[in-house]
C-alpha cells in the first residue's frame, strides 16, 4: 500500500497528470479503502484498465508512463460521446518499476479494451468480460472479498446487488464505493450561469449515463432490502470544493492536452510532466487536510462495507 495520503497524491498525480483533478480524487478514493484486504477468493468488479488498483496496492510506474497512453483522443469531439480511453494499441506496454505484492483473483469489466490494458499489469489472476446488467458467472457463497466502484452505472441495480449477495461468502465482505446525485451538483448549479452549449461541454452526458444514482438513505434501503448488513459507512471526500474542482477541471481540453503531449519528445515530455505535477502537488496538498463538512445524507460519494 502507499504509505501516506501525500504519497498517494503524488503517485496519482503522476498517473493522471493531464487531469490533475482526477489524481486528487483518486488519492482520496485510495485512502478511503486503505483498510481493505483482498482475502481470497477476491473480485475486482468493473476493474477497468486496472491502473487505479495497481497504484492503490503499491505498484509503481515509470515517469514515462501514465493513464493517457493508448487513447483515441484524436477522434474526440464535444458533439460525440466517445470514450477516448476505451482504446487498446497492440504495442501498449506499461513501464513498471515495481509490482504490488497483492494480487486479486478475478477482475471483470464490460469493455474488452480495458481488460486488455489490465492484463498488462498482472494484478488479477483471471480477467472476465462481463456486463453487470447480467448475472455474475460465479457460484453461490464464493467470494471472501469484493470491491467495486461502479454499481451505480448499471440499469438493473436490484439484479447486481442480488448477485453480489448470492456470490458473497457468509464470512466475506463487500466494499462498494457508490455515487449519489450530489456528486454532480456542481453542474446543477452551473446550469443557472452557463449556456446550454457550455454545460454540454462540461457535462459530456455524465448526468444521463449514471444509471442508478441514489441518495444515502436510498442506498441504505437498497442494501438492506438485498439482504446485506451494513458494517461501516465512510465519506470519500471531505467537502464540496473537491467535487467542484473535479466537475470542471481540465476535462474540456483533456483530448487536446493528450494530443499535445503525444507530440513531445521523450525528454521534453518528462521535463514538462515533472514541472506540471510539482505545481499541482503544491496546489492540491493543502486540500488533503481540508475539514470534512459532508454529512452522509448530503455526501456525493460513500464507501459501504457490507456483509451477509
Domain residue spans of the chain: 5-307
Grid cell in block for residue 85: 480511453
Sign of CA dihedral 148, 233, 246, 3: negative
Rg (CA), the chain: 19
Question: Is the Cβ–Cβ distance between 128 and 116 less than 8 Å?
Answer: no
Grid cell in block for residue 62: 515509470
Contacts of 266 (CB under 8 A, 6+ apart): 64
Question: Is the Cβ–Cβ distance between 205 and 82 less than 8 Å?
Answer: no
CB atoms within 10 A of CB 219: 25
Helix (H, G, I), strand (E, B) or coil at 232: strand
Q: Which residues pair with 229 in a beta bridge?
A: 307
Nearest to 258 by CA among 11, 66, 112, 51: 66
| Cα distance between residue 83 and residue 112, in whole Å | 13
pLDDT digit string (tens) for the chain, length 308 residues? 566 999 999 999 999 999 999 999 999 999 999 999 999 999 999 999 999 999 999 999 999 999 999 999 999 888 777 889 999 998 999 999 999 999 999 999 999 999 999 999 999 999 999 999 999 999 999 999 999 999 998 989 999 999 999 999 999 999 999 999 999 899 989 999 999 999 999 988 888 778 788 999 999 999 999 999 999 999 999 988 999 999 999 999 999 999 999 999 999 999 999 999 999 999 999 999 998 889 999 999 999 999 99
Q: Which residues pair with 178 in a beta bridge?
A: 302
Cis preceding linkage at 174, omega within 30: no
Contacts of 4 (CB under 8 A, 6+ apart): none
Tell me the CATH number for domain 5-307: 3.40.50.150
Amino acid at each position: 500500500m502507499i504509505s501516506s495520503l501525500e504519497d498517494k497524491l503524488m503517485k496519482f498525480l503522476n498517473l493522471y497528470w493531464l487531469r490533475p483533478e482526477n489524481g486528487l480524487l483518486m488519492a482520496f478514493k485510495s485512502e478511503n479503502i486503505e483498510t481493505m484486504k483482498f482475502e481470497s477468493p477476491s473480485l475486482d468488479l468493473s476493474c477497468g484498465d486496472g491502473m487505479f488498483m495497481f497504484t492503490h496496492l503499491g505498484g509503481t510506474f515509470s515517469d514515462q508512463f501514465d493513464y493517457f497512453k493508448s487513447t483515441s483522443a484524436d477522434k474526440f469531439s464535444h458533439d460525440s460521446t466517445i470514450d477516448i480511453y476505451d482504446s487498446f494499441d497492440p504495442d501498449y506496454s506499461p513501464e513498471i518499476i515495481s509490482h504490488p505484492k497483492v494480487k486479486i483473483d478475478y477482475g471483470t469489466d464490460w469493455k474488452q479494451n480495458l481488460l486488455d490494458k489490465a492484463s498488462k499489469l498482472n494484478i488479477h489472476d483471471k480477467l472476465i468480460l462481463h456486463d453487470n446488467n447480467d448475472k455474475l458467472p460465479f457460484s453461490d457463497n464464493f467470494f471472501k472479498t469484493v470491491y467495486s466502484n461502479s454499481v451505480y452505472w448499471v440499469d438493473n441495480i436490484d439484479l447486481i446487488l442480488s448477485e453480489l449477495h448470492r456470490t458473497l461468502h457468509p464470512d466475506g465482505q463487500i466494499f462498494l464505493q457508490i455515487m449519489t446525485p450530489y456528486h454532480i451538483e456542481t453542474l446543477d448549479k452551473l446550469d443557472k450561469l452557463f449556456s446550454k452549449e457550455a454545460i454540454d461541454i462540461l457535462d459530456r452526458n455524465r448526468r444521463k449515463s449514471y444509471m442508478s444514482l441514489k441518495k444515502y438513505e436510498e442506498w441504505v434501503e437498497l442494501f438492506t432490502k438485498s439482504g446485506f448488513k451494513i458494517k461501516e459507512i465512510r465519506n470519500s471526500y471531505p467537502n464540496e470544493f473537491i467535487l467542484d474542482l473535479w466537475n470542471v477541471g481540465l476535462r474540456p481540453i483533456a483530448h487536446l492536452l493528450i494530443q499535445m503531449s503525444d507530440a513531445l519528445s521523450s525528454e521534453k515530455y518528462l521535463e514538462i510532466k515533472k514541472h506540471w505535477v510539482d505545481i499541482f502537488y503544491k496546489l492540491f496538498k493543502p486540500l488533503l487536510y481540508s475539514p470534512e463538512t459532508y454529512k452522509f445524507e448530503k455526501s456525493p460519494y460513500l464507501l459501504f462495507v457490507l456483509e451477509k
